[in-house]
Amino acid sequence: MRLESNFVQKQQQKQSLKLNMTQQLSQSIAMLQFATADLMAFLEDKALENPLIEVIPGSDIGADFSYSSRKSSGSSDDTDWLDQIADNKLTLADALKEQLQLMNVTQTHKIIVLYLIESLSDNGYLQIDLNDVAAALLMDDSSVLEGLEILQSMEPAGVGARDARECILLQIERSPDAPYIAYDVIQKFFTEFAEKKWKKIATEMDVTLQDIQEVSDYIQTLNPKPGSEFESERVQYVVPDLILLQNDNELVVTLAKQFLPQVRFQSAYYETMRATEEKDVAQFLREKAGEFDWIKKGIEQRESTLQRVGEAIVQHQKAYFLDNSAHLQPLTLKEVAEELDVHESTVSRAVNGKYMETSTGVYELRRFFASGLQKKSSENEDLGDISSTTIKKLVQEFVAAENKLKPLSDQKIVDMLAEKEIQVSRRAIAKYRLELNIPSSSKRKRF
């Protein structure tokens, strides 16, 4: 019986240890996958459960940790503290409410307009049906419509529109520079105009294609998202995990530790509780101290993996970082994984949602992985890989230089790439064009 009891106890301990290791492993993997904000939230949750863990948040992204400030060696006395004060721009709702206060409108209309303002999207479009507004405020439809007209008379022009067509019409109404047929074209032929069926419009309106082209050029000057010039309610900041510093031709990758959360052991609490010499307290402290240890190791492992992946990326894309006019080289997750002797999924977790600050901006690590296409000579000799990023850049260059009266078709772009010994299908070009937000040749044509 005693032997059986010992066996059962050992089995339970073994299973408990195995379960604990599995949980620690899964949470270590999760910590690598977390973006900085998610990691902070995870650590704060752990701190609520474990009194031995103190979370030290990273520095405020608004502080002066810019690339240029780190690169410069000037005295801190030269800091322009006015630049450190936040620029609190108005939100769209704030701007409209200020205008409303200066308008001579009835109290009823003011209530309606305020309700409509709160129903606007960040782009300035009305996101609620007027019948629902009337029902919610217990007001008649005509009063609500009058309230909408008041809102649509405000700045910026186009605010309060219920769709893109109405937004453009509201701007045309107020513009002295609008071509004389612009309002009628958009009001009567909005879909045909967007689909560039201009010959049909010109025939029905008895105008020339040049007149329609003039309307198109004018429409390009309007803002289809009138609320976009204002601050949204919540500004999202990208926090870099890595920083790339350049000294001549030397590139150095460092962890952006000032932004990353850390943990500290609450030694004073630990010593105070241990002094009680109670058996249950001692067991509790052992468990929580062990949890602190593996969380700290998880953070260190996360930072080490990010550092190594960042260095591998910079090594492969060194030419690009030294000269941004250069193309990204083909690079896959598998290549980096094999180089670092880790699983491909580890590299994937390390690059998703993680950012590196460079001299030209802050970019997600995944951006520096470019798929490759085979490049062959006319003799079908393999000349190596060329990245899809390079193909896209060439497509952009071709389109920018094309004759707008006879824009390049996808097949023509395929032929032009073939002249550069780059073999790619027409379907691939169509896909890249869509990813670059380049319209089809028929929609790029000018008259």
320-358 pLDDT tens trace: 888 877 777 888 889 999 999 988 888 988 988 899 998
What is the rounded distance in angstroms from the CA atom of residue 364 to the CA atom of residue 382?
32
More confident residue, 82 or 316: 316
Match 């079908």 to its residue by tokens.
380
Two structure tokens written together for 34:
């977390």
Number of other residues whose CB lies within 10 A of the CB of residue 181: 16
Three-state secondary structure call for residue 390: helix
Residue 161 pLDDT > 90, yes or no? yes
For residue range 12-46, list pLDDT tens digits in order.
555 544 444 455 666 777 788 888 888 888 898 88
Between β-strands 262-265 and 250-255, what pairing exists: parallel, antiparallel or unpaired? unpaired
Domain boundaries, the chain: 91-161, 163-229, 242-368, 388-443
Q: Which fold has domain 91-161?
A: Arc Repressor Mutant, subunit A (1.10.10)
| Residue 39: per-residue pLDDT | 87
Q: How far is CA 181 from the centre of its chain?
A: 39
Minimal CA–CA distance to 288: which of 276, 273, 307?
273
Mean pLDDT, residues 224-235: 74
For residue range 165-192, list pLDDT tens digits in order.
999 999 999 988 899 999 999 999 999 9
- Confidence tier at 231 by pLDDT (50, 70, 90): low
Residue 316 pLDDT > 70, yes or no? yes
78 DSSP 8-state letter:
G
More confident residue, 103 or 248: 103
| Residue 11: per-residue pLDDT | 52
What is the rounded distance in angstroms from the CA atom of residue 96 to the CA atom of residue 242?
41
| Residue 26: per-residue pLDDT | 66
Two structure tokens written together for 50:
């474990």
Two structure tokens written together for 236:
């999202």
Two structure tokens written together for 443:
């929609």
58 DSSP 8-state letter:
P
- Confidence tier at 89 by pLDDT (50, 70, 90): low
Mean pLDDT, residues 209-214: 92
388-443: CATH class: mainly alpha
Lowest-pLDDT range, 2-11, 157-166, 304-313, 428-437? Answer: 2-11
Residue pair 226/124 in contact by the 8 Å Cβ criterion: yes
Radius of gyration of the chain (CA): 31
| Residue 64: per-residue pLDDT | 44
